[in-house]
Amino acid sequence: MTGQTKKKLMNCAHRYGMTDRIEWLGWKVDPWENIESASALVLTSTVEGFPMVLSEAMARGLPCVSSDCAGARDIVETGVNGWLYKAGQAEELAAILEGIVMGDRQLPQSSAVRASVSRFDSSNVVKEIIDACAAECARRNGSPRFHNKERLDSLRP
């Protein structure tokens, strides 16, 4: 975040009386070392492929508030592990954050947040890929392109 952006955000926090609720950490090489002190992660991207930061935060039990960009829709389940807001709608984002700060929106339990993204765990993803390859192999009835089913089975987690 640039100095000018940070100054605008700090002024906004001051205007809404939230300065005592926000800790401005700045750039971190390893942001996860400070994650225990966070209440939620906010992603304001307008375009994402698969926003790894959301699944990484949720795997650590941290609820997320994200713009409703394509990749985030695959991860964020409203009320279960976070909330989505329409990209570019600062008022909608502000309302969600205000609800969290004021206690009108209950943050999901860390265990529920972690469980919600278990499907993205690498062992689960690898299993799904192997199962899909094995099914295709069976469908093609041993086609040379998928001739080594035993090798696929040996890769299963």
Query: Residue 1: its pLDDT value, please?
Result: 58
Where does the pLDDT of residue 152 fall: very low under 50, low under 70, confident under 90, or very high at 90 and above? low
**Does pLDDT of 10 surpass 70?**
yes
Residue 60 burial (CB < 10 Å; 0-12/13-18/19+)?
middle
Where does the pLDDT of residue 157 fall: very low under 50, low under 70, confident under 90, or very high at 90 and above? low
* Residues listed for the chain: 157
Query: Residue 37: its pLDDT value, please?
Result: 79
Where does the pLDDT of residue 144 fall: very low under 50, low under 70, confident under 90, or very high at 90 and above? very low
| Chain segment 79-114, per-residue pLDDT in tens | 999 999 999 898 999 999 999 988 899 999 999 999
CA distance 24 to 4: 14
Reply yes or no on domain 38-118 having CATH 3.30.465.10. Answer: no
Nearest Cα to Cα of residue 129 among 155, 98, 103, 90? 155
pTM above 0.75, yes or no: no
- Portions of the chain given CATH number 3.40.50.2000: 38-118
- In the chain, what percentage of residues exceed pLDDT 90? 35
Nearest Cα to Cα of residue 101 among 3, 19, 8, 32? 19
Residue 140 DSSP one-character state? T
